[in-house]
């Protein structure tokens, strides 16, 4: 079992085809379920600079904007509304997706402060 993800739908479809081909060539089987839509980086964003500014104001550090293995909700939502301007962020979750997963409370408080900060700027 595997879960494929990509920020580009055409590349996701190509990768699915490659996995299916190799499964068949090696005598295996291939079944698809639970696909996550791609979430493409939008060069122009009104919310991203606000989030970076809020991060700086809350933490005193510059935000690092990067592509990571996350943001499934953004992909699902932007698939329904392609013009949606969205960002993915959250608290620190050490050992995520394991039996040792835990939530860092201090980082959760920082995320809450960021949310309040951005909402105040959007008024």
Which residue in 103, 119, 111 sits closest to 58, CA to CA? 111
pTM of the model: 0.76
Give me the residue label for tokens 């943001």: 71
- 85: three-class secondary structure by DSSP: coil
Cα distance between residue 116 and residue 31, in whole Å = 43
Cα distance between residue 117 and residue 54, in whole Å = 6
How many C-beta atoms surround the C-beta of residue 78 within 10 A?
A: 19
Task: Answer whether 40's CB lies under 8 Å from 8's CB.
Answer: yes
Mean pLDDT of the region 12-39? 88
Mean pLDDT of the region 53-79? 89
29 pLDDT band (50/70/90 cuts)? confident
40 pLDDT band (50/70/90 cuts)? confident
Q: Quick one: tokens of 73?
A: 């909700």
Task: Answer whether 118's CB lies under 8 Å from 62's CB.
Answer: no
- 37: three-class secondary structure by DSSP: coil
123 pLDDT band (50/70/90 cuts)? confident
Measuring CA to CA, how many Å separate 31 from each of 18, 28, 36, 38, 120? 13, 10, 15, 19, 46
User: What's the pLDDT score for residue 51?
Assistant: 96
């Amino acid at each position: 079992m595997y879960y494929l993800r990509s920020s580009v739908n055409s590349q996701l479809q190509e990768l699915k085809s490659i996995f299916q081909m190799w499964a068949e060539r090696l005598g295996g089987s291939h079944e698809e379920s639970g696909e996550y839509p791609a979430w493409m980086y939008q060069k122009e964003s009104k919310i991203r600079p606000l989030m970076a500014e809020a991060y700086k104001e809350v933490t005193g550090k510059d935000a690092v904007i990067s592509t990571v293995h996350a943001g499934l909700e953004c992909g699902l939502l932007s698939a329904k509304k392609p013009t949606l301007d969205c960002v993915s962020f959250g608290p620190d979750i050490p050992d995520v997706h394991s039996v040792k997963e835990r939530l860092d409370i201090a980082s959760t408080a920082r995320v809450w402060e960021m949310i309040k900060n951005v909402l105040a700027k959007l008024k």
